[in-house]
Amino acid sequence: MTAANALKTAAPTSTFDVERYRADFPILANVHPHGKPLIYLDNGASSQMPQQVIDRLVRYQTHEHANIHRGVHTLSETATRAYEHARKQVQHFLNAKEDREIVFTSNVTDSINLVAHGFGRAFVGEGDEVIITHLEHHANIVPWQMLCEEKGAKLKVVPIDDSGALILEAYEKLFSPRTKLVSVTHVSNALGTINPVKEMIEIAHRHGVPIMIDGAQAVQHMPVDVQALDCDFYAFTGHKVFGPTGIGVLYGKAEWLNKMKPFRGGGDMILSVTFEKTTYNAIPFKFEAGTPPIAQAIALGEAVEYVQRIGLDRIAAHEHDLLTYATERLQAIDGVRIYGTAQQKAAVVSFYVNDVHPHDVGTLLNEEGVAVRTGHHCAQPVMQRFGIPATARASFAFYNKFEEVDALAAAIRKVQKLFA
Amino acid sequence: MTDAKQLYQEVILDHNRKPRNYGKLADATHRSEGLNPLCGDHIWLNLKVSGDLIESVAFEGQSCAICKASASMMTANVKGKSIAAVEQLVEEFRGMATGTLDVANEPNHLGRLTVFAGVKDLPSRVKCAVLPWHTLHAAVQSQSVVSTEGDNDPVAQSA
């Protein structure tokens, strides 16, 4: 490596005090795969939980747990208050206009299925069209395929270019008088591309079409304001934003949620039930049948406050530095190719090491303590677009540091040496 | 706990670089396709069976090093064996990979194939090693396509 190159790939200096935040995450210090320090670069699959969120879960279970929305006793009232407070925390996190626009689900897959059923069953008919993109996770493909198959509707797909960016001109051309809904990911899980959702929402609305945004890979990386975006639906999941598994969110404009059909039937989603007729509860309860994941919702409320205390602008800036550094370091290795080179990217680096299958890369990186995801990332159409079966993916969080990028690069070189 | 690098360093990297019996068989009597949808391993197996004997065998496809080396060593091993003997090997290989057969202490016919014993400590890679053997089993049973998921899931079967 030349001196100029070495200079170029030196870790940037940063004012972001990463060690201070790392101290909040006990798992980062507690786990030593193969005796090595854990270098956790699989945040796109699931992020780790800070002590503050763990403590909130424990406090709820040790002092506050009962079923919600029904008991007249103290504990039930405490639990109900905490659960509804979490809804307000999420409302604030997304800057939704009203807390009743926040529906608790179990994950993004569940949120999308809710819209596919609640909106799709009510408003999509034979010959109608739904628009998605080539970048979608299977969770934002399969529910729409199922809906289209059931209704005799048609799925249209926005293409991507060689950098993994959506082709906006092609998107606009997909609209027809039969277009009933657009559903698009905010950030690609497989490539990291940040989609121009603001423009896409404006274009959809110009055609009078509502639009759903899958924010599974977005809300942990950047500020999201659903009123500024003016999207009709927005979904995210708890365990990718430093909260627990089993809890997801669907934001929906009240006017749409009111017009939609319930998804699941059961307790809590009704006002009255006779064998002749059931009257449904108001939103958001209409969509929350059965006992919800109460503890998880409350912990999610703590998690979104936690990231807001750090500041999503500061998180985005630190992660941008990580992305730039990781991209330079990996590009400097002969035989490593990065997939996903769009101008706007979140801190996700999907890569392929020449002549080594990504699964072998993943197993051998693990030997060095480096956790990455390998496979098709539940986005097989993206892999097909680039003609590869799989990639290895390093996905960063704000608690990752530049030294971990160095460790990743060194571990990749070791893999190459073994396979040479 | 097996060191994964140990597993790779032995015979496996050699077979990955220079797979034996790689390609098609013009006069194949049995063909089968094996697919691991989780990681994208995808192989095709051609057999020429004469009477009760596997006369020749070849494989091709796209896969990780563990799968490719497993397929390569398998083809070298089963050539000239009877179908009954091969079915016995399929069972033993699956037992070794999933940890139900202790190859160091229990009788078996695996020979050099025991270099794969370490995959039992890499649960996410068991299917990579077993896929060629499933595909071989399917070929002799005259099934055309097998997957590592569903009924053929080696991990589920051992659970």
pLDDT digits 0-9 by tens, A192-221: 999 999 999 999 999 999 999 999 999 999
- 3 state SS of A17: coil
A419 CB neighbours in chain B (<8 A) are 13, 16, 65
- The answer to whether A185 and A236 are in contact (CB under 8 A) is no
Place B1 in a pLDDT band, splitting at 50, 70 and 90: very low
Cβ(A216)–Cβ(A236) below 8 Å: yes
Percent of chain B with pLDDT over 70: 88
Among A354, A357, A382, the strongest candidate for a mutation testing the B interface, having the largest count of B CBs within 10 A, is A357
Q: Which of B13, B63, B122 sits opposite A357 (nearest CB)?
A: B63
Q: Do B40 and A389 touch (CB under 8 A)?
A: yes
Residue B20, number of CB atoms within 10 A of its CB: 18
Give helix B126-140 / helix B65-78 axis angle, nearest 10°: 40
Distance from CA of A165 to the nearest CA of B (A): 24
User: Residue A276: pLDDT band by 50, 70, 90 thresholds?
Assistant: confident
- Check if B18 contacts A (Cβ < 8 Å): no
Q: With an 8 Å Cβ cutoff, is B6 touching chain A?
A: no
The CA distance from B140 to B30, in Å, is: 7
Chain A contact probe: residue of B64, B124, B125, B149 with most A CBs at under 10 A:
B64
The whole-angstrom separation of Cα B119 and Cα A364 is 13
CA A54-A59-A61 angle, to 5 degrees, is 95
Contact B66 A359 (CB under 8 A): yes
What pLDDT is attached to residue A253? 98
Find tokens 């990681």 and name the residue. B39
Q: What is the pLDDT of residues A66-99, one digit of tens each?
A: 999 877 899 999 999 999 999 999 999 999 999 9
pTM: 0.91
Contact state of B64 with A359 under an 8 Å Cβ cutoff: yes
pLDDT at A244: 98
Compute the nearest-CA separation of A363 from chain B (Å): 7
Do A389 and A396 form a contact (C-beta atoms < 8 A)?
no
The answer to whether residues A375 and B39 touch, using CB atoms and an 8 Å cutoff, is yes
Q: Which of A140, A138, A201, A196 lies closest to A166 in space, CA to CA?
A: A196
pLDDT in tens, A394-409: 999 999 999 999 999 9
What is the residue whose two structure tokens read 């396509």? B145
Which runs of consecutive H residues, i.e. helices, occur in A332-401? Answer: 358-367, 380-386
Contacts of A62 (CB under 8 A, 6+ apart): none
Q: Select the residue of B9, B16, B39 nearest A359 (Cβ to Cβ).
A: B39
Half-sphere exposure of B80 (CA within 13 A, CB side): 2
CB-based contact, B48 to chain A, within 8 Å: no
SS (H, E, C) B34-77: EEECCCCEEEEEEEEEECCEEEEEEEEEECCHHHHHHHHHHHHH
Q: Convert the pLDDT of each residue in A283-315 to its tens digit.
A: 999 999 999 999 999 999 999 999 999 999 999
Higher pLDDT among residues A290 and B159, named by residue:
A290
Closest chain B C-alpha to A383 CA, distance in angstroms:
10
Tens digits of per-residue pLDDT, B97-134?
999 999 999 999 999 999 999 999 888 899 999 999 99
* Per-residue pLDDT, A14: 76
Residue B159 has pLDDT above 50, yes or no: no
Q: What CATH code would you report for A3-49+312-418?
A: 3.90.1150.10
Tally Cβ neighbours within 10 Å of residue A275. 5
| Minimal Cβ distance to A357: which of B65, B122, B124 | B65
Contacts of B128 in chain A (CB under 8 A): 359
Give the residues across from A273 on adjacent strands. A278
Active-site residue, A378 included: yes
Contact at CB, A418 and B9, closer than 8 angstroms = yes
Rg (C-alpha) for chain A, rounded Å, is: 22
A5-53 per-position pLDDT tens digit:
444 567 777 789 999 999 999 999 999 998 999 999 999 999 999 999 9
Answer whether B89's CB lies under 8 Å from B79's CB. Answer: no
B 50-79 residues inside an 8 A Cβ radius of A: 62-66
CA atoms within 13 A on the CB side of A50: 22
With 0-12 CB in 10 A as exposed, 13-18 as middle and 19+ as buried, what is B48? middle
Distance CA A243, CA A49 (A): 6
- pLDDT at residue A7, rounded to an integer: 45
- Please report, for chain A, the start and end positions of each structural domain, with discontinuous segments joined by +: 3-49+312-418, 53-309
Span A318-324, average pLDDT: 97
What's the whole-number average pLDDT of chain A?
Answer: 95
- A132 CA: distance to closest CA in chain B (Å): 23
Question: Can you list the positions of beta strands (E) in A277-324?
Answer: 278-280
Q: In the predicted model, is pLDDT for residue A56 greater than 80?
A: yes
Chain B contacts of A367, Cβ < 8 Å? 3-5
Backbone angles phi, psi at A404, to 5 degrees: -70, -30
Which helix (H) or strand (E) is A179 found in, with range? strand A179-185
Closest CA in chain A for residue B13: A419
Mutation for A interface: B8, B15, B128, B148, most A CBs within 10 A: B8
Torsion of CA A286, A288, A294, A297, to 10 degrees: -90
CB-based contact A133:A185 (threshold 8 Å): yes
User: How far, CA to CA in Å, does A71 sit from each of A59, A65, A271, A288, B84?
Assistant: 20, 12, 16, 17, 66
Q: Is the peptide bond before A284 cis (omega within 30 degrees of 0)?
A: yes
Exposure string of B84-97, with b = 16+ CB inside 10 Å and e = fewer, is eebeebbbbbbbbb
Architecture per CATH, A53-309: 3-Layer(aba) Sandwich (3.40)
- Cβ distance B25 to B50 under 8 Å? no
Residue B150: pLDDT band (50, 70, 90) is low
Is B110 part of the contact surface with chain A (CB cutoff 8 Å)? no
**Tokens encoding A370:** 């480096």
Nearest CA-CA distance, residue A359 and chain B, Å: 6
**To the nearest whole angstrom, how far is the Cα of A103 from the nearest Cα of chain B?**
32
CB B8 to CB A364 under 8 A?
yes
What span, in angstroms and rounded, lies between the C-alpha atoms of A243 and A251?
17
CB contact under 8 A, A389 and B42: yes
Distance CA A22, CA A29 (A): 9
Reference A280, options A261, A253, A308; nearest CA is A261
Please name which of A159, A161, A151 lies closest in space to residue A181, comparing C-alpha atoms.
Answer: A151
**Amino acid (1-letter code) at residue A61:** Q
C-alpha B54/C-alpha B43 separation (Å) is 19
Of B13, B39, B66, the CB nearest to A375: B39
pLDDT score recorded for residue A222: 98
CB atoms B3 and A367 under 8 Å: yes
Would you call B4 and A359 a contact, using CB atoms and an 8 Å cutoff? Answer: no
Closest to A336 measured CA to CA, from A312, A303, A372: A372
Min Cα–Cα distance to chain B from A356, Å: 7
Q: Which residues of A touch B9 (CB under 8 A)?
A: 418
Is the CB of A367 less than 8 angstroms away from the CB of B65? no
Handedness of CA A196, A197, A198, A203 (dihedral sign): positive
Q: Which helix (DSSP H) or strand (DSSP E) does residue A395 occupy?
A: strand A391-395
Of A295, A323, A378, A408, which residue is the catalytic one?
A378
pLDDT averaged over chain B?
88
Structure tokens at B115: 């270099």
Chain A interface includes B145 (CB < 8 A): no
- Both tokens of residue A38? 């854990």
Which residue of A34, A353, A356, A363 to mutate against B (max B Cβ within 10 Å)?
A: A363
ipTM beyond cut 0.90? no
Tokens 């199922």, residue located: A146
